[in-house]
Amino acid sequence: MGREELRGQGIVGVRDIELKQYIEDRKHLFWYSPAPKSETVSDELLVEIILNYGSMDDVRALFSVMKIDNVAKIFFDSINKSERRKGNYHELTRNYFTLLFNRYASINKSLENI
């Protein structure tokens, strides 16, 4: 399995330097985690935390580091898993990013079933 495949699955420990630095720069958003955050945060949790609690600058930087299509895929996969997962996102956040990703991300349109 290649590095990108592992990273896409949120496998711990397979992080590039840019993504590690991105997480470290925003460690205040991961206050509950005592371990080094850049090694323990899954891609799914990272996207959830940044979209819910990060600033728009944090979101833009996330798109730069992870690419908007990858973030959109993680977002739609997460909210389509279950109602509980869908509830992890604030209602306004979920609505805003659903609209944004539908417009700007070039993902498989079958992921839009919310």
What are the tokens at 24?
A: 């470290």
> Would the pTM count as exceeding 0.85?
no
Q: Of 50, 54, 49, 102, which Cα lies nearest the Cα of 76? A: 102
Please count the structural domains in the chain.
1
Note the pLDDT of residue 72: 97
What's the average pLDDT block by block, 10 residues per block, for the chain (114 residues)? 51 69 88 69 92 97 95 94 83 96 78 46
What phi, psi does 47 have (nearest 5°)? -60, -45
Domain membership of residue 17 as a residue range: 3-112
pLDDT at 51: 97
